[in-house]
Amino acid sequence: MNQDEVKELFKKNNALLNGHFKLSSGLHSDAYFQSALILQYPCHAEKLARALAAKLVENDIKVDVVVSPAMGGIIIGHEMGRALGTRAVFTERVDGAVSLRRGFSVEKGERVLVVEDVITTGLSTREVIDALTKLGAEISAVVSLVDRSAGKVDFGVPRFALLSLEVKSYKEEECPMCKAGGVAVKPGSRK
Ligand code: ZN
């Protein structure tokens, strides 16, 4: 799938929203990617994961286990595990810290693929990388459906996205939409 096809899929499923949003990072933006609206269709999730897996194969990147952060990364992570023939586990926050729960583990030296749905600042992805590195895992690569930083966020490992584009986000105090008197909404929450 090329970038245009992926963008079209987001638009067709109303998964690319325009408005005034407060992102999970706390930043404000006029665009929001609601990947769940695409991933609710397993056939789309499978296709997107296969497209990401193809990039890894092309670049000869080896993966033993897929790790994705809950909730956003779980479905695409699961499909990546299917596409790559590996297991797929997810991290959760326990008292604010990124952790593996439910008996999930990552062995020393295991090659981990970190899978996200959307990367904006990369801060939460970095927390996942740090938590796994502490367990002795080796991070093979980071992949996401959408990279809102257009590749600017650097994790020190190879990184691939199906849709890579620069979407402006603002600190609340610098947000032009707030300055114009608007109120940011948390996407997905009921108004
Ligand atoms: Zn704002």
Q: What is the pLDDT of residues 80-129, one digit of tens each?
A: 999 999 999 999 999 999 999 999 999 999 999 999 999 988 999 999 99
Residue type, 172: E
- Whether 188 has a pLDDT exceeding 90, the answer reads no
Q: How far is ligand 1, taken at its centre, from the CA of residue 18, in Å? A: 13
What is the pLDDT at residue 108?
A: 96
What is the pLDDT at residue 1?
A: 85
Mean pLDDT of the chain: 94
Residue linked to tokens 């970038």: 3
Interval 181-186 mean pLDDT: 94
What is the pLDDT at residue 161?
A: 97
Q: How far is ligand 1, taken at its centre, from the CA of residue 33, in Å? A: 17
Q: How far is ligand 1, taken at its centre, from the CA of residue 20, in Å? A: 6
Query: What is the tally of structural domains in the chain?
Result: 1
What b/e sequence results for 3-20 when a residue is b if at least 16 CB atoms lie within 10 Å of its CB, and e otherwise?
eeebbebbeebebbbeeb
- Whether 191 has a pLDDT exceeding 60, the answer reads no
Domain that holds residue 64: 3-179
What is the pLDDT at residue 49?
A: 98
What is the pLDDT at residue 190?
A: 53
What is the pLDDT at residue 189?
A: 62
Q: Is 189 inside a domain boundary?
A: no
Q: Is 185 inside a domain boundary?
A: no
Q: Is 184 inside a domain boundary?
A: no
Q: Is 188 inside a domain boundary?
A: no
Residue pLDDT, tens place only, 20-55 = 999 888 899 999 999 999 999 999 999 999 999 999
Which one-letter DSSP state was computed for residue 139?
A: E
Q: Is 59 inside a domain boundary?
A: yes
Q: How far is ligand 1, taken at its centre, from the CA of residue 107, in Å? A: 43
Closest CA to 149 of 122, 113, 127: 122
What is the pLDDT at residue 162?
A: 97
Q: Of all residues in the chain, what percent carry a pLDDT higher than 90? A: 88
- Whether 64 has a pLDDT exceeding 60, the answer reads yes
Q: How far is ligand 1, taken at its centre, from the CA of residue 25, in Å? A: 13
Q: How far is ligand 1, taken at its centre, from the CA of residue 116, in Å? A: 25
Q: Is 120 inside a domain boundary?
A: yes
CATH number of domain containing 30: 3.40.50.2020
Q: Is 100 inside a domain boundary?
A: yes
Q: How far is ligand 1, taken at its centre, from the CA of residue 165, in Å? A: 20
Name the pTM for this structure.
0.91
Q: How far is ligand 1, taken at its centre, from the CA of residue 121, in Å? A: 17
Q: Measure the CA angle with vertex 103, ends 98 and 108; round to 5°.
A: 70
Q: How far is ligand 1, taken at its centre, from the CA of residue 30, in Å? A: 8
